[in-house]
Chain A
Amino acid sequence: MTRELLGLMGIDNDRLALEWVSSAEGARFAEIVTSFTNRIRKLGKSPLGVAA
């Protein structure tokens, strides 16, 4: 639902990530956050001009 709503608002779906990480998977959590941060960096500033 969130993806569809973002689409209507013209916000790139690549800016949303949904992952399940257990508390025992610290390394995986770091990996996901790093790759998501890199993805957002590559996408650049959002059209909103605010941290969305």
Chain B
Amino acid sequence: MTIPVLYAGSGILLFFIGLHALLIRRHLLRKIIAANIMGSGVFMVFIALGARGDSAVADPVPQVMVLTGIVVSLCFTAVAIALAVRIHNLTDCTTLAADEESSID
């Protein structure tokens, strides 16, 4: 029982490490990696909650959800990188500048 809790706790930590980096880091590629790590954290909580039973194999339903989630996060990564490359090609920027500029004026 303590092992799934260890994994679930690590998943939560990974999620917040990723969220922190997503907000702090400026390079788009690093933001994409950070979102991926957040996803890994969520998946880890899912699988850990499904592994609370006594049997050696985890609950298949969360496993399937995580499998689908991995595919969706891959799709996210692919589209996000394509968008980042597009931004780079159009503006020669590798960061988003809008957050500092969206002021009152």
A-B complex is real: no
Binding site for A on B (CB under 8 A): none
Interface residues of A (CB under 8 A from B): none
